[in-house]
A and B are shown apart, each in its own frame.
Chain A
Amino acid sequence: MNNDQSKRFKSVSEMTQELSDDQAFADKVDDRLAARQIVRTLFAKRSAKGMSQKDVATKLECTQSRISKLEKGDDKDLRLGDLVAYADAIGLDLNLVLTKQGMTLADQVKYHAFCIKALLDKLAQLAVESGDPSIAKGVHHFFGEAKYNLGLIVQGSAGILLPASTEKPAPRVRYRVEVKEIDIDAPSDLTPCGEHP
């Protein structure tokens, strides 16, 4: 059996689109996959928690077949109450996000960036209100870590572009976080320590 390992796909959808000579069939697969995104996530999260359908059923005081039916159904058949209860049973909170339709990926990134800003502001406010310098110091330390990690995330995604891009890549900037030398009065403890092509 020939195993052409040059064909590697990130998802079932990508594979079906690439391998199918019947576009209508590939689109049908995509439609079905899109119809079960939430229930698929529930199944995946339950599996990651090492829980069986029976475990969830026991927590929800219902039958295993009900959990099975829920996991094999479509998102449109899910009741919000069941979703909340299921999430709780597998130790997760449910966060619903309502956004305008047709958001581009860039819009979504901006949306999440604003969410991060709102959370950081809230954290800073809580630290100020506590009046406890050690909490403020801890939050400041956390901000340093967050800044570093967010930079790494953006840099990592930009790295995907590089092989295909004909443009000169943006210079990489490495930050050093000096945890022990944090001065909460200083604007930032993140020191750029050089540029690397």
Chain B
Amino acid sequence: MWKLVPTDLFERRKKAYQKKQPAALIAVLENLADYVAALGEGTKPLQIKAGFIHSEGLGVLAIDQKGAVRKLAQTRLYIYPDAVSECLYLITLGDKSSQKEDIKTSHVFVNGLPKGDKSDHEQ
């Protein structure tokens, strides 16, 4: 069974978004729940395709706010699904302005995971 594993960075950003952009954060969490439901059906992480999922390299995925009824500020949640341990790491949360830095942070995070905890994302 997949488990959600938030980082402390995600927790801090989530708190800030809760105050700053609550509607966008809720939309992202709804999309995250959809993604988790698909994982729960036994689907391989990278086979889950949807308009709100973006591949950011090294197995990192970004989940955005798309799908909400009204237009919301672009918000992206960076995740890393590790198929071996069935841990879904919630790495960080950001907007368009922090996108480059967020992707870089996510890559550093994935490279820092113990080897045994890392899926072969090249497959």
Interface residues of A (CB under 8 A from B): 1-5, 7-13, 15-16, 19-22, 25, 28-29, 32-33, 36, 40-41, 43-45, 47-48, 50, 52, 68, 71-72
Contacts and interface: CB of A to CB of B under 8 A. Distances in A.
Q: Is the interface of B mostly helix, strand, loop or mixed?
A: helix
Contacts of B33: 11-13, 33, 36, 40
26 contacts: A1-B8, A1-B105, A1-B108, A1-B112, A2-B8, A3-B5, A3-B89, A5-B5, A8-B5, A8-B87, A9-B4, A10-B1, A10-B3, A12-B29, A16-B29, A20-B18, A21-B15, A25-B18, A40-B33, A43-B37, A44-B34, A44-B41, A47-B38, A47-B49, A68-B51, A71-B34
Contacts of B42: 48
Contacts of A21: 15
Interface string B1-18: 101111111010011001
B73 interface: no
Contacts of A20: 18
B123 interface: no
Interface of B: 1, 3-9, 11, 14-15, 18, 22, 26, 29-30, 32-34, 36-38, 40-43, 47-51, 66-67, 87, 89, 91, 105, 108-109, 112
A28 B26 contact: yes
